Structure 1
Amino acid sequence: MSTRKNLLLSTTVVAGAAAVSLTLLSSGAAFAQAAATSVNSQASDVDEVVVVGSRIRRDNYNAPSPTQVVTREEATLQGFASTTEALQSTAVTGGTSQITNAYGGYVVNGGGGVNTIGLRGMGPSRTLVLLNGRRVSPAGSRGSVGAADLNVLPTAMIDRVEVLRDGASSVYGSDAVAGVVNIETRKNFEGLVFEAQRNEPLEANGAGGSTRFSLTAGARGDRWRAAGSIEHYDRDELTLRDRAFTRCQTDGFLQGEDYIDPLTGKSKCYPITTTGSNGSAINSIGTSFATGVAAQGAVGTSFNRWRPNSGVNSGVIGFEGVGGGANNLNVRDTFDDRMLNESLISPVEITTIYGEGGYQLHALGNAELYGEVLFNNRKSSQTGYRQLALDYAKGSPLIPSNLAFSTFSPDQGLNQDQDVGVRAFIGFGNDTSKQEVNFSRYVVGLKGDFFLPDWRYDVSASYSRSRSDYTSEQFLTDRLIETLDVVSNGAGGFECRALASNPGCIAAPALSSSVVGGKLPKDWVDYVFRPVRGTTEFTETILSAGIDGPLFSLPAGQVVGFFGLEYRKSEIDDTPGLDSQTGNTYNYSTSAITRGSDSVWEAFGEIEAPLLRDAPFAKELTLNGSFRYTDYDSYGDDTTYKIGLVYRPIDWITVRGTYGTSYRAPALFEQFVGATTGFQSSTQDRCNNYTAPGVNPNRVANCTAEGLAADYQSTQSVRVITAGGADAGLKAETSTNKTIGLVLQPPLPSGWGDLAFAVDYYEIEVKNGVDRTGFSNILTRCYDSNPADFNADVGFCRLVERDSVTHALTVHDSYVNLATDIVKGLDYTVRYRKDVGPGTALFNLAITQYTEVSNKLFEDDPLEDYKGMINNPEFTGTADVSYAWDKWRVRYGVEWVKGTDSYAYYEEDPATSQYDLAVGDYWLHNASVQYSGEGWTLTAGVRNLLNEDPPTISSGVYNRIGNAPLYSGYDYLGRTAFLNLTKSF
């Protein structure tokens, strides 16, 4: 298909609104290119193609499932510098949150730097990503690799993206629960094209900008074709320092309950809280209680936390009291300027090489031997901030005489069973995590005419491999132990006791005000703070074969079918660094090896039958059905099916609907991920200060029932245990999917233009869903539950344990089969085109409404509906208007996220609650202009034209970035200019 036909294909998609419920990103370019050409004449030029959601070749798009098409032209006009950005936009995702480069400080499936897509808010593991109709294998780092990484996609060669928002397991197999994303590359491309794009944030001094360069080339002969591209994408780091809304995170509590910093008289920046880019206790020491001088803002005369102050010459000389008793934790120092060096948007460099080709054999049924190859290298990193809690043993010569009185606690792992004399809470500074992921994909196939008339066959094999090397900087426990066990060196200093057996050992610094303040000897830091490296490898082999063609004829037309077989085998091998495996990373999670494999045989088919055509009150009635038999090594066999119907009573009205079943076999990491023990801050304990005003009364009753004091404050980290579910009998999840749609294309009087409207209702219900609940959600839901349930140890409380002596919490957050996930809603689309003056005007409106987003963990739990809550907006929408004439095109677009409110869910009264749990409507405006010259095109524009900052909420409930919710629907970059230049040779 020529480049021209690709443009005409987009026009046909727009015209065939019976199959397209969302064409917001595709329709403008299509109409602009073909303003003077009739739809019917265009459609005649389009070859038979296979549209996502079906394997049957068609010459039209009257399919029963709603499909959205995103063209490269519209993505460029919106300022997207990569396919990743376009796919994660509100227009495609319906406003549901996605894993982006803003999650650098969080543990996510696929590791740091990964970007994934999940439709209908059901996560990336329930959305299948295809490249030219074939699966894109997972890529990433660490043991939880399980979804396609959008970073591997070849942006330069992409022609269009088809998004099916409908379950399609019977057509594509496992993972196609919430929908399918199919990326189609340019076919039969000829010529040479250079493209360059720069996105420049204007509010962050250039930080967070991105640059992409690409070169695309193609040629063809009588029997062969070949095309390919090479591109490089570079996104700069955006730090917390670079944006105003992240420079001073505050609690944001209502009712005047923020801690007021006595040094500034304002709400404290970066306090010690439970969510967001938190502060940390630094520049202080912990001792046993002693009488001393109170710091500014502290109360009482007896303290167990102290801050260096050389002016104090009584009590604990050289230190002022900042903690203990009734003192607020935020009396302590919690902010270090280096915290602002943390990544808000993590930097990444991506190099992609893609090639495809074909050769006509003139044999085996006019067969074509074809192939694809994809190489992708991603280098990403994230900057974090670390506190170092360094324990000095009781009696250690490293403790000065004025602190020798203290016995802080029993040994916590650094002092070889000696009591801790003093703990130093040191602001260590920044650390870096890095990932380098190499992804390769090879496809070879043969397609041609089958021996039956008008039948075609396609046989292919593919192999994909993701290899990741990941590194994080860690304090090594064994080295800290060595360096803290010291003796005199005879020259007024100290040396390691183990120096004779380990000549490289560097003694820890003696406890002093400068050490507590974060000034640490470089040679000691270099010895104890080391890179820990791990590797992840994921491979997938796929063999598939299919035939399609006419089965027999009915009065209304031919019944066509597709029948196929497929074999897939996947393997994962994640080997964390030895120090991670052995628990030698101080105050950090441990990780075991993740290793496992799974394979599946499948047989499937699809039949489409025209039941009526050009009959009274039935211009068209077409039935589509598909089925699949699956046999997994991991959980056995299953069958799925899907039935769809398209009905056109008259030319301009189409009713469509589908009903089907889907399944998802547990991903390899969900089955085999090695048991991981992590530790969360003691501030995550929901019973901390549980008698404070405004606390949920259920939480007060439940914490009291555990025998905790009214002023309880945890000093123990929360242990979180995660493990794969294979040994626990993890099963495949099953689901049902229903869509019902109405499409109207009323004929308008001549000169009035073209109007199309579509509305689709969708309903997905997942049974036995495989997921982790999240330790924070588990704790909140347990301690805020009805006291009767709490005492009975049911629901979320089944996953929580509290030590009866130390009161330390343990949370089990492993992969389990959740009882139910339900998503319901409607998609609305309006499109209007009209010739105006010398050109064509086009208006698009697309709105997604969620009427239910609910789940429950156990069968006997009630369904909880999250619709309309923070990060789960009830409505999202996009709209744009464009005008194209001669060589020009201008576009103005708006993205909308309806305001959200979580007060009711958490049983909080907004009039009395301390929490800010509501945000208003959020609007993003974008504008661009494009000029096409002879062999070149220049596009310029601005995203977030009005420089809209994300809304703010208070801490304590949701994860935040600065004061804003951690939600991909909000723009963290601010007003951003973009420029794209495309030159053909």
Structure 2
Amino acid sequence: MQSGAVSDPSGQIATEPAAPDVVVTGSRIARSGFDASTPVNVFNQQDIKLSGNLNIDKTLEQVPQVVASQLGGATSNTVPGGYADVNLRGFGSTRNLVLVNGRRFAIFGPEQVVDLNTIPSSLIARTEIVTGGSSAVYGSDAITGVINFIMREDFSGVEGRAQVNVDRPTGTPTYNFDLTMGGNFAEGRGNLVVSGNYLNRGSITRGERGTFAYLSLADGCVAPGSGSATRPGTPFTPAAGQSCTGGGGQLGFIASGSGDIPNGRFSGIPAAGGPNAALNAAYAAAGLSGLTSRGFTFNSAGTAARPALTPQDDFNLGPDNYLIQPQKRWMINSFGHYDFTDNITGYMELHYSHNEVNARLAPTNIGSPMLFNVNNPYLSPALQNVLGVLDRSETGNATVSAGTATYTNRPNDGLAQITAGRRYVEVGPRMASERRNVFRGAWGFRGSLGDVSENVLSDLKYDVYYTYSRSEDTLLLQNALSRSRVQAAVLSQNGAQPVCDIFGAQITEACAAAIRISATNTTVATQQVAQGSITGTLFRLPAGKVGFSSGFEWRKTDAVFSPDSFLASGDVAGFNPGLPTRGSVSVKEGFGEVRVPLIHDTPFIQNLTANAAFRYSDYDLKGIGGNWTYLGGLDWRVNRSIALRGQYQRAIRAPNVSELYGGVNRVTGVATDPCSNHGSAGLQTASVRAVCEATGVPAANVFTAAVQPNTIIPADFGGNPNLAAEKSDTYTAGVVFTPAFAPRLLFSVDYFNIKLDGAISSLGGGLQNTLTLCYTVIQDASSPYCQAVQRNPTTGEINDPYVAKILNANTGSLRTSGLDFAARYRFNLGFGFPGLGETSSIDLSSTFTWLNDFTSVPVAAFPNIQNHCEGSYGPTCGQPLPIWRGTSRVTWETGPLSLSLRHRYIGPVTTDRYLVPLRQGSTATPALNTLVYPKLPDRHYFDLSFSYDVAKTFQVFGGANNVLNQDPPITTQGPSANTFSATYDVMGTEFFLGITAKF
């Protein structure tokens, strides 16, 4: 929650007088005062403006209840990507729901997530966040809560806004312009607002940022007196007090990178000193007598070869990658309504946006076996002799695959097979451009139905609407390589000289053009929603009105992903292959909600109110069918100063199109078949044998090499149309303190506890887990884990076409709990400043989250294997999950001037390589002093901002974020730029300045 907001049960700022009835996120029943069972976090347009953030996703990432999303936002630099999302409570962006004006917004892609780049920050009047299951009120996806953007709909006049942001380290600007026009018509019965936005965010590469981002780092042992890495830009030193082997060295960060290097690294051949005397002699003549398994490389001219070294020869991947992705956005929004009669109002919302977000990655590499002519003209005679000896030393025929092409390699055929690991820098850095067009329309009628009687079914109101959204995404991939073209280009064609010389830095533009390839993917996603609802008073009780809401909703989501044919074939190197995905999900729902006042105006009970809601969802998916979600809660206002609240909610999430219908992709990886001789001898029991035979292994072959002739096993991964819904239970309980002796003070504490079962992931958590579950844990041939295994009926082997089907399944669980604290206090100082104001005031606000538990169970069938991630970070737990995190703000106002200081706090975290096994009781837990910088220290960020009303129609605002210019903590376990770039500030100090003019 942004500083300046409070955890207020009504969604209203606590210092304001009681508001009229409004609909606050988390319920469809209009109400006022402190009568909500679950806390609603609120921040408004002024909070957004003072933060300096131009995209709303960055503002949300600074909310303590939100865990940063590495795959979305300006720092992601992923392919595919180009979007911004929100991750409430760390359960993932697919498990929370984004609304605009209480209605579902446009989605993109088969994952059915809202791209926050399509939400205009300048049009947001306020943002309301409910954390905790809300499926009974809003339907599927609201496992961890709802983010509801309330837009400025009723506007008259013209307002222009311009803002520029510039970071201190590189001086890269981001420009944003908004123009909003609105007015009333038909004697005030109607209003129409049209707003346009243009944003242009400059790019920053890791090389431009330098310091922490320039290098590709690895954990290592730093020799005494050598400092750390020797490449330019490194600021790193050894970890104090942590020793390692190597003559008294210390643990620290060292320069690392890719072994596929620009001058080429050629391996996959015998090391020098082996039994082949002819080969050893050839190596010596070519200067390779010290050749190891790492292979050899060339000088830039390609005239001399030498053994390859590490890390000296490794390629630094860092500088080419974007740290901040460039973005261009054009957007137009329109809101209108017209009162046809006093009881019928028609309304409309229209949205169109065009977003371009680019990713940039290090140049493409290929590191696979390739064939070369032994008389390759680009090689010296000595190296030609090496290839000739290798060719003569080959035994039998071998198949060499190069994308869509295959070759047969035979002894003495003039071809030698070598693994060629090369970084093709001459082709240029890999570039990916996401171009997303989004259209959304909402049309509806609302109004009053009056009263059936004075005491029963009174104050009736209706709302009927239909929304349609369509997202069209084009992903253009450039500077990739065709594996088949590369192989063909290094071979002589009909005696002609090969097109490409890949030895050293000798690739010409003709070669680059021959092997370079582009690819284009397209994605289209549509969503339709039709809903009708009635709200009002059901009847009256002595304690007050019984409010109700009921209605019907229909939703349908369609998504189509069409990959480029080159990419789908697997011939493209540089970008991951993709398979077509197509599908739809539709649901019909009935819902209802009721609020019942039980007691009022009695000793110790000023008000006691119960609330309940239900929703029945009927999906067109055979794995789900019909599902109930529901909630129940109590609000107890003891007196003016103290209010208590609590609620239980059952929520569901239906699987999305990607999880249901994602293209099946065959992956070959290392695994151990328990039915073979590769497994542990202690597990070769009679019960395992029985399951092996029941799943198709011939009795004579059980526990023999015939079942698994090698350690590589193929498996199919992808969508599963039989998935069930994820289900969650959420408990919240809190107290709100608004003391009578300090009427401008609000303090709240809320406990949350969320547990999700049936989390959707790959069956069993992967191939090896599936095999283990089938044969050594569950040992039931009819279990889904055993049913996923297919075997050759003759040998019992798992191999093409008999492969394991590791499709998506409801396989794991998640849980989290903790406390949310929020406070706000506003007081007058009683003095002002000449020319500004006769008085001034101070506004203090703070919101913090204490994380008690964050646990994942990867496979429900292994309930004892739990990853306890609170207070940790790393490859298992992901983004940092500090125990304490929060923001505080102090704002001084006098007349037209406002000055504000914000403090953002992120607590310390420890690597999950230590914490997870420690909490599991593992005897293999590493000691902290054997890990490089195992703890990331806490971070205190200070932000300054101001706003000044030059005139009633003209305002200037600005500020600086991270004024102390702190770099993020460094770790090799981070997903990008040697840190967690989505959690910590990576731009250093960022200045912003803007103006708003109204006419």
Please classify the TM superposition score into its range, dividing by the shorter chain length.
0.7 to 0.9
1:5 aligns to what? none
CA shift, 1:912, in A, is 4.0
Higher mean displacement: 593-602 or 850-859: 850-859
CA change 1:874–1:305 in 2 (3 A) is: same
Whether contact under 8 Å (2:10, 2:35) holds in the other structure is yes
Give, in whole Å, the separation in 1 of the partners of 2:789 and 2:883: 32
Q: Does 1:442 align with 2:441?
A: yes
CA change 1:262–1:55 in 2 (3 A) is: closer
CA change 1:126–1:258 in 2 (3 A) is: farther
Give, in whole Å, the separation in 1 of the partners of 2:787 and 2:330: 47
The match for 1:138 among 74, 85, 107 is 107
2:982 aligns to what? 968
CA change 1:463–1:899 in 2 (3 A) is: same
Q: Does 1:465 align with 2:480?
A: no
Provide Cα deviations, 1:244-300, integer angstroms capped at 9, x if missing partner: 11112321336869999998799999xxx99999434212332523448899xx995
Whether contact under 8 Å (1:100, 1:115) holds in the other structure is yes
1:637 aligns to what? 626
The match for 2:322 among 323, 332, 343 is 343
Give, in whole Å, the separation in 2 of the partners of 1:840 and 1:132: 32
CA change 1:678–1:371 in 2 (3 A) is: farther
1:500-579 alignment runs, 5 A limit: 507-515=498-506, 520-579=507-566
Whether contact under 8 Å (1:821, 1:855) holds in the other structure is yes
Q: Does 1:933 align with 2:954?
A: no
The match for 1:101 among 73, 91, 94 is 73
Q: Does 1:121 align with 2:90?
A: yes
Q: Does 1:428 align with 2:419?
A: no
The match for 2:718 among 723, 730, 755 is 723
CA shift, 1:86, in A, is 1.4
Q: Does 1:308 align with 2:309?
A: no
Provide Cα deviations, 1:729-758, integer angstroms capped at 9, x if missing partner: 311111111100011111226xxx722210
Whether contact under 8 Å (1:294, 1:301) holds in the other structure is no
Q: Which runs of 5+ in 2 are unaligned?
A: 237-251, 273-279, 410-414, 452-457, 673-678, 684-709, 791-795, 832-838, 874-879, 918-923
1:498 aligns to what? none
Q: Does 1:377 align with 2:354?
A: yes
CA change 1:101–1:560 in 2 (3 A) is: closer
Percent identical among aligned pairs is 25
Give, in whole Å, the separation in 1 of the partners of 2:825 and 2:356: 43
Whether contact under 8 Å (1:170, 1:641) holds in the other structure is yes
Give, in whole Å, the separation in 2 of the partners of 1:157 and 1:586: 43
Helix, strand or coil at the partner of 1:926: strand
Give, in whole Å, the separation in 1 of the partners of 2:777 and 2:369: 40
Give, in whole Å, the separation in 2 of the partners of 1:908 and 1:868: 17
1:905 aligns to what? 916
Q: Does 1:322 align with 2:308?
A: yes
Helix, strand or coil at the partner of 1:330: coil
Whether contact under 8 Å (1:833, 1:842) holds in the other structure is yes
Per the normalisation by structure 2, the TM-score is: 0.79
CA shift, 1:541, in A, is 0.9
Give, in whole Å, the separation in 2 of the partners of 1:815 and 1:629: 25
2:849 aligns to what? 848
2:51 aligns to what? 78
Whether contact under 8 Å (1:589, 1:678) holds in the other structure is no
Q: Does 1:833 align with 2:826?
A: yes
The code of the aligned residue for 2:194 comes to: G
CA change 1:113–1:914 in 2 (3 A) is: same
1:936-955 alignment runs, 5 A limit: 936-953=954-971, 955=972
1:746 aligns to what? 739
2:156 aligns to what? 190
The code of the aligned residue for 1:674 comes to: G
CA change 1:822–1:512 in 2 (3 A) is: closer
Give, in whole Å, the separation in 1 of the partners of 2:629 and 2:208: 50
CA change 1:796–1:825 in 2 (3 A) is: farther
1:413 aligns to what? 401
Q: Does 1:65 align with 2:22?
A: no
Whether contact under 8 Å (2:761, 2:810) holds in the other structure is yes
Provide Cα deviations, 1:854-881, integer angstroms capped at 9, x if missing partner: 1212223223211111112121111111
The match for 2:635 among 639, 646, 649 is 646
Whether contact under 8 Å (1:260, 1:266) holds in the other structure is no
Give, in whole Å, the separation in 2 of the partners of 1:116 and 1:666: 18
CA change 1:670–1:278 in 2 (3 A) is: farther
Provide Cα deviations, 1:705-737, integer angstroms capped at 9, x if missing partner: xxxxxxxxxx999989641122xx311111111
CA shift, 1:800, in A, is 12
Q: Does 1:758 align with 2:776?
A: no
Whether contact under 8 Å (1:800, 1:812) holds in the other structure is yes
2:663 aligns to what? 674
Whether contact under 8 Å (2:798, 2:804) holds in the other structure is no
Whether contact under 8 Å (1:253, 1:916) holds in the other structure is no
Give, in whole Å, the separation in 2 of the partners of 1:811 and 1:384: 33
Give, in whole Å, the separation in 2 of the partners of 1:663 and 1:258: 58
Q: Does 1:366 align with 2:343?
A: yes
Count how many residue pairs are aligned between Structure 1 and Structure 2. Answer: 869
Whether contact under 8 Å (1:892, 1:927) holds in the other structure is yes
Give, in whole Å, the separation in 2 of the partners of 1:679 and 1:274: 33
CA shift, 1:357, in A, is 0.4
Helix, strand or coil at the partner of 2:510: helix
Give, in whole Å, the separation in 1 of the partners of 2:431 and 2:399: 29
1:657-736 alignment runs, 5 A limit: 657-677=646-666, 722-726=717-721, 729-736=722-729
Helix, strand or coil at the partner of 2:872: coil
Higher mean displacement: 411-420 or 55-64: 411-420
Whether contact under 8 Å (1:81, 1:198) holds in the other structure is no
The match for 2:60 among 84, 87, 107 is 87
Q: Which runs of 5+ in 1 are unaligned?
A: 1-9, 32-38, 324-328, 495-506, 688-697, 703-714
Give, in whole Å, the separation in 2 of the partners of 1:854 and 1:553: 45
1:503 aligns to what? none
Higher mean displacement: 285-294 or 412-421: 285-294
The code of the aligned residue for 1:624 comes to: N
Q: Does 1:248 align with 2:215?
A: yes
Whether contact under 8 Å (1:72, 1:159) holds in the other structure is yes
Whether contact under 8 Å (1:591, 1:677) holds in the other structure is no
Whether contact under 8 Å (1:280, 1:387) holds in the other structure is no
Whether contact under 8 Å (1:217, 1:228) holds in the other structure is yes
CA change 1:662–1:76 in 2 (3 A) is: same
Provide Cα deviations, 1:735-793, integer angstroms capped at 9, x if missing partner: 111100011111226xxx72221000001111101135999x999x99999x9989999
CA shift, 1:88, in A, is 2.3
CA change 1:960–1:542 in 2 (3 A) is: closer
Q: Does 1:220 align with 2:184?
A: yes
2:885 aligns to what? 876
The match for 1:924 among 937, 941, 949 is 941
Give, in whole Å, the separation in 2 of the partners of 1:47 and 1:343: 49
CA shift, 1:482, in A, is 4.0
Give, in whole Å, the separation in 1 of the partners of 2:590 and 2:256: 49
CA shift, 1:605, in A, is 0.5
1:885 aligns to what? 894
2:608 aligns to what? 621
Give, in whole Å, the separation in 2 of the partners of 1:265 and 1:679: 39
Whether contact under 8 Å (1:56, 1:560) holds in the other structure is yes
Whether contact under 8 Å (1:258, 1:268) holds in the other structure is no
Whether contact under 8 Å (2:217, 2:257) holds in the other structure is no
CA change 1:818–1:307 in 2 (3 A) is: same
Helix, strand or coil at the partner of 1:741: strand
CA change 1:588–1:960 in 2 (3 A) is: closer
Give, in whole Å, the separation in 2 of the partners of 1:891 and 1:686: 57
